[in-house]
Amino acid sequence: MAEVENVNSVPASEDTEYGFKRPEMYSTNIANSITSYGRHVFVLYKTPEAWPSHVEEQGLPQRFATLLKDRKSDLLVQTKLNVCEGGGSDGDVLIFPDMIRYKGVKDTDVEGFFEDVLVNGKPWSSGKQEEITGTFVFVCTHTSRDKRCGVCGPVILERFQKEIGSRGLSDQITLKRCSHVGQHKYAGNLIIFCPDSAGKITGNWYGYVTPDDVPELLDQHIAKGEIIQRIWRGQMGLAEGEGEKVIPNGNSVMKEESKGSTGGCCQGSNGVSCCQDETPKPEPIKKEGRKCTIWFQPLDKEEFYIGAAVVGAIATIAMAYTFFRRSR
């Protein structure tokens, strides 16, 4: 990649409007802000300084862009196209996640290349396929398309160059300036293609990236395969909706736990366990309430007669008293 010279920081006059201090920075949740796709093609073509606003509308990139549009239904894999700096290798084509490179594709070769490689999934019959290894970092610096990328991109690249050099990683990481990747408002924008923790090649998009994020991208994402969630935009190869399940430790997708039978007795089925405790539990003690009983004892004959006499005497006195009151 061409050296980025004398780019120590963003000029103060541009930083608040186009740089890392602009008001729109971090104003939006950018997770899952890319469309689902499964393959990314980069055409090496000239330099960002020479690219027009729509570089895909001229020369070799135009031939690829036209075929991708016209033959979209013929592709078995949803494919994205970008242009990256040639650096003396104009016409080379990089394909991810296949990690392959074809050299020297000319305008007249594009149709045959497209048919063989992108439609039929076969090696190009007119060229040699080369395997590529390591990590590839593509940073959007498409100034003629949007100044935000033109201001932020070069500063991020310079920090990458510095950190990669100091860590001795120059032979393991390839840096490339690339064309518009979508959503300039998320600048700095970049894409990293590298193996995840399981060895699978992934393409992860990042936005709102600043130079201060570069060491973390190297140490966490590239070295360990761990996603940096706060600036993550999405990942190549994920179906719609899967991006919401990506966890920040290994580019993997969380699987929902089964709600059915777990297959083990003590785990049970649907939350019901069939296991029993071997120690018998004592029967609960039933507490009975106290009963209040009234006893009726039979009276003997003498007691009965005495009681009757008393009642009769009382009745006679009451009647006599009543008669006496009336006679007065």
pLDDT for the residue numbered 197: 77
> Do residues 303 and 234 both lie within one domain?
no
> Do residues 241 and 303 both lie within one domain?
no
Cα 299 to chain centroid distance, Å, stands at 94
In this structure, is residue 261 part of a structural domain?
Answer: no
> Do residues 190 and 302 both lie within one domain?
no
| Residue where a domain terminates, one of 228, 245, 262 | 245
> Do residues 38 and 103 both lie within one domain?
yes
The number of domains in the chain is 2
Note if the pTM is more than 0.95.
Answer: no
Q: b or e along 59-73 (b: 16 or more beta carbons within 10 Å of the residue's beta carbon)?
A: bbbbbbbebbeeeee
In this structure, is residue 269 part of a structural domain?
Answer: no
Residue linked to tokens 């992934």: 202
Strands 201-206 and 79-84: unpaired
pLDDT for the residue numbered 317: 66
Order across the sheet with 232-235: list the strands: 129-131, 100-102, 93-96, 39-44, 79-84, 173-178, 135-140, 190-195, 201-206, 232-235
In this structure, is residue 320 part of a structural domain?
Answer: yes
> Do residues 102 and 196 both lie within one domain?
yes
* Cross-strand pairs, 190: 139, 206
CB 153 within 8 A of CB 146: no
Reduced to 3 states (helix: H, G, I; strand: E, B; else coil), residue 257 is coil
In this structure, is residue 260 part of a structural domain?
Answer: no
CB 134 within 8 A of CB 125: no
CA 217 to CA 211: how far, in whole Å? 10
Which helix (H) or strand (E) segment is 94 a member of? strand 93-96
> Do residues 230 and 321 both lie within one domain?
no
- What CATH number corresponds to the domain at position 46? 3.40.30.10
* Cross-strand pairs, 44: 84
More confident residue, 239 or 206: 206
> Do residues 230 and 84 both lie within one domain?
yes
More confident residue, 238 or 62: 62
Cβ contacts of 176 within 8 Å, gap of 6 or more: 1, 42, 84, 85, 136, 137, 138, 139
pLDDT for the residue numbered 185: 94
In this structure, is residue 3 part of a structural domain?
Answer: no
Question: Which domain range does residue 314 map to?
Answer: 297-328
Residue type, 180: H
Of 31-40, 96-105, 189-198, 296-305, give the lowest mean pLDDT range: 296-305
In this structure, is residue 199 part of a structural domain?
Answer: yes
> Do residues 199 and 324 both lie within one domain?
no
> Do residues 17 and 83 both lie within one domain?
yes
Is the pLDDT at 158 greater than 90? The verdict is yes
Model confidence at 199, pLDDT cuts 50, 70, 90, reads confident
CB 208 within 8 A of CB 30: yes
| Residue where a domain terminates, one of 207, 227, 245 | 245
> Do residues 177 and 315 both lie within one domain?
no
pLDDT for the residue numbered 166: 97
Number of residues written out for the chain: 328
| Residue where a domain terminates, one of 245, 262, 285 | 245
In this structure, is residue 33 part of a structural domain?
Answer: yes
> Do residues 198 and 328 both lie within one domain?
no
> Do residues 305 and 218 both lie within one domain?
no
In this structure, is residue 137 part of a structural domain?
Answer: yes
Task: Supply 169's token pair.
Answer: 């990683």
